[in-house]
Amino acid sequence: MHCAVGVSVRNNVCFKSFRKIMDSCDEQHGQQGELEAHATTHPDDRAPGDPNTTADRVEYNETFKGDGDTPRDANEDPHTTEDDTKEILLDGKPISAEFSEPEAPDGGYGWFVVLGCFLSHVLNGGLERCDGVFYLQFLSKYGHGAQLTAWPGAVVSTIRLFLGPAASAVCNLYSVRTSVMCGGLLMTVGCILNGFAPNFYFLFFSHAFVSGVGRGFTYAPGIFILGMYFNKKRGLAAGLGSSGVGVGTFLIVPLAQYLFDEYGFEGAFLIMGGISFHMLLIAMMYRPLSMNAKFKRNHLQREKKKKTPIDVDHEESFVLVKVRKAPHTERPNLVRSTSRKSVDGEERMDVSDSITSKKAEGASQRKVKRETKKNCLKSSLKICFPKEYNDKSGGSPRRIFHFYLLKNWSFLMYCISIGLFTMAFKAAFTFIPALVKSKGIPQSQAALVLSITGVLDTVGRIAAGALFDLPGLRRIRPFLYNVVMFAVAGVAFVLPSLSTFPAFCAVCGVYGMLTGAYVSQKSVITVDILGATHVASSFGILIFFQGLGTLLGPPLSGALKDHFGNYDEAFYLGGGCMYGAAIFMIVSNIFLRIQRRNMKKRQVHEIS
């Protein structure tokens, strides 16, 4: 049985790549066979009488080995076949490295992505840390109890976090830019509606749901796009990007208080709506990694053309690949495709299921006879024509949600830990201004306490990013993260006992620095547990658990305030939840250690 592929190759690049791939298959997949090659250029492109029109004849006669380094036994049953799953190497590297998804550049345009993530956190984090200011404004304007008034701030954060998997799905189906631009529009509309809310329940809808959905589609993409652009410097990039929350807290919280004092309730929210509209500009900074790689390839091609005096723009070659079926092996069906795929920037290939192309008439043909396993040809076709092969060969549909990741016990315990911690974390930032005010300190100074917390939050994020990326500490990052959680819980228990403005500034500064380290490294710890393969989906699941904590924390703390008449018990509850979260993180680290040990044993077993 024979199968033929007609390939029209522009700039003669795909032919060379295909030749390399097939030669690599000869060396690694190994079968009994021989290769005869004969090639010419297209007759239309040859100069008449050119003595070089016929290429050299190349013959290969090799004895191939089977899987691994063990030669195939001459007495082995010829009907026995195996699927070779080893990586094919091309020039010493996996062939997937040349044609697959681009690797994380760890720099370059990635720093502009970090800047976009930073600015996104300035807006998202700043507006969210304003919940304490909003809480006092809602309390005075509508006159409801503490528990009911705390619900809008709780729900807006909950929806933002619950939409993590949905934002991941939008990014997987479309792009990060699409998700962030849609979210920015909703954030703007939500703020404008807040200013014209006729009653508390309309405000609940506009602030919690409209703004919450907008924040949900802007927050998560800004986090996991960093995992696409960075690998070795992922911790530093995450720390720098998320440090925008501290800057936003320092700038936007006092700005919001000033806007309420100067322009009133309606004017303040209208201005904040205009500020939120800048999220659309931030979205444009999130260039897809594939587009970034394409720009680089095109630049290299332009530089290469400048150095190449020969114009081969119209050079074409015809390749006929004839494969003889090995005993009892199956060949994948070659599917007709008329689409084109860019390879190496500018080279384009047209694939046809016919070998009777008019362009081939009169041309000498390259004939290849070989016996190989089906994976060799299958891998070659995937490399040369990835989109056409994957889309039209009946492959399984792309998975959008990855909830099966929760089967990993370390990741499940980590998600529960984050959920518990967020219950206290969100409630603390909602009620810190109210707690400070309840101690007899003016409301303007209460907002300033949050600003100081935001400044040291930024310091904590950047410091943690640099510290967690040190070569000697990368492997123990989850354990360091556990220590940070215990430290935050201890500080939370101290807050209710404070009574002076300087004391609140000092303790809240330490609290902000520790929580900054905690928040900035969430995505990094997620990658340490699961790897970078599913960074978007895993982080989406993680912030879904955060949403559960955010939904329960502020209303429960508000109920305690209504019952006891002060905010002290709310912070004691928060400290207890943080200690519980740290204990679950210990369990997660135990499972992670077992997971790594088992993986190491499997690797040793495979080598032996």
DSSP state of 174: S
DSSP state of 342: E
Q: What is the model's pLDDT at position 20?
A: 53
Residues 6+ apart with CB under 8 A from 381: 332, 334, 389
Average pLDDT over residues 538-558: 83
Residue 133: pLDDT above 60? yes
CA pseudo-torsion sign 173, 177, 178, 179: positive
Most confident of 12-16, 227-231, 315-319, 361-365: 227-231
User: What is the Cα–Cα distance from 602 to 594, expressed in whole angstroms?
Assistant: 12
How far apart are the two ends of the chain, measured CA to CA in Å? 39
User: What is the Cα–Cα distance from 328 to 326, expressed in whole angstroms?
Assistant: 6
Contact between 121 and 241 (Cβ < 8 Å): yes
At 105, the amino acid letter reads: P
Q: What is the model's pLDDT at position 138?
A: 92
Contact between 512 and 464 (Cβ < 8 Å): no
Q: Residue 489 is encoded by which pair of tokens?
A: 């819980």
Average pLDDT over residues 447-459: 85
Most confident of 212-226, 234-248, 503-517: 503-517
Contact between 6 and 354 (Cβ < 8 Å): yes
Residues 6+ apart with CB under 8 A from 573: 424, 427, 556, 557, 560
| SS3 assignment, position 296 | helix
SS (H, E, C) 424-476: HHHHHHHHHHHHHHHCCCCHHHHHHHHHHHHHHHHHHHHHHHHHHCCCCCHHH
The CA-atom distances, in angstroms, between 232 and each of 85, 89, 235 are 28, 24, 8
CA pseudo-torsion sign 440, 442, 447, 453: negative
The chain-wide mean pLDDT, for the chain, equals 72
Q: What is the model's pLDDT at position 275?
A: 94
Q: What is the model's pLDDT at position 530?
A: 84
Query: Which DSSP helix (H) or strand (E) runs through 323?
Result: strand 316-324
**Angle CA(318)–CA(374)–CA(28) in degrees, nearest 5?**
90
Q: Residue 426 is encoded by which pair of tokens?
A: 């969100």
Least-confidence region, from 46-55, 139-148, 416-425: 46-55
Average pLDDT over residues 246-273: 91
Q: Which residue has the higher pLDDT, 305 or 110?
A: 110
Q: What is the model's pLDDT at position 219?
A: 85
Residues 6+ apart with CB under 8 A from 25: 88, 372, 376, 377, 379, 380
Q: What is the model's pLDDT at position 599?
A: 84
The CA-atom distances, in angstroms, between 327 and each of 380, 404, 454, 551, 577 are 20, 39, 69, 62, 65
Banded pLDDT at 398 (limits 50, 70, 90): low
**Dihedral pair phi/psi, residue 41, rounded to 5°:** -85, 170
Q: Which residue has the higher pLDDT, 76 or 527?
A: 527
Average pLDDT over residues 527-544: 77
Residue 344: pLDDT above 60? no
Q: Residue 383 is encoded by which pair of tokens?
A: 């490399």
User: What is the Cα–Cα distance from 511 to 363, expressed in whole angstroms?
Assistant: 76
Residues 6+ apart with CB under 8 A from 237: 110, 114, 226, 229, 230, 465
Least-confidence region, from 127-141, 150-164, 222-236: 222-236
Q: What is the model's pLDDT at position 522?
A: 86
Least-confidence region, from 81-95, 407-421, 527-541: 81-95
Average pLDDT over residues 579-600: 91
Distance of CA 518 to the CA centre of its chain: 19
Q: What is the model's pLDDT at position 565?
A: 85
Q: Which residue has the higher pLDDT, 578 or 26?
A: 578
Q: Which of 141, 320, 121 is nearest to 226 (CA)?
A: 121
Q: What is the model's pLDDT at position 186?
A: 95
Residues 6+ apart with CB under 8 A from 166: 216, 217, 540
Q: What is the model's pLDDT at position 78?
A: 41
Residue 321: pLDDT above 50? no
Q: What is the model's pLDDT at position 341?
A: 39
Banded pLDDT at 443 (limits 50, 70, 90): confident
Average pLDDT over residues 205-213: 93
Contact between 209 and 196 (Cβ < 8 Å): no
Least-confidence region, from 142-156, 270-284, 290-304, 397-411: 290-304
Percent of the chain predicted with pLDDT > 90: 22
Contact between 146 and 558 (Cβ < 8 Å): yes
Q: What is the model's pLDDT at position 194?
A: 93
Tokens 């190449």 sit on residue: 308
Long-range contacts of 264-268 (CB under 8 A, 24+ apart): 265/137, 265/141, 265/195, 266/195, 266/196, 267/195, 268/195
Residue 259: pLDDT above 80? yes
Q: Which residue has the higher pLDDT, 41 or 249?
A: 249
Q: Which residue has the higher pLDDT, 311 or 171?
A: 171
Q: Which of 24, 16, 6 is nearest to 377 (CA)?
A: 24
- pLDDT, tens digit, 9 for 90 and up, residues 562-581: 888 888 888 999 899 999 99
Q: Which of 39, 40, 38, 36 is nearest to 50 (CA)?
A: 40
Residues 6+ apart with CB under 8 A from 184: 214, 218, 276, 277, 278, 279, 280, 282, 283
Contact between 251 and 126 (Cβ < 8 Å): yes
Q: Residue 189 is encoded by which pair of tokens?
A: 């509309």
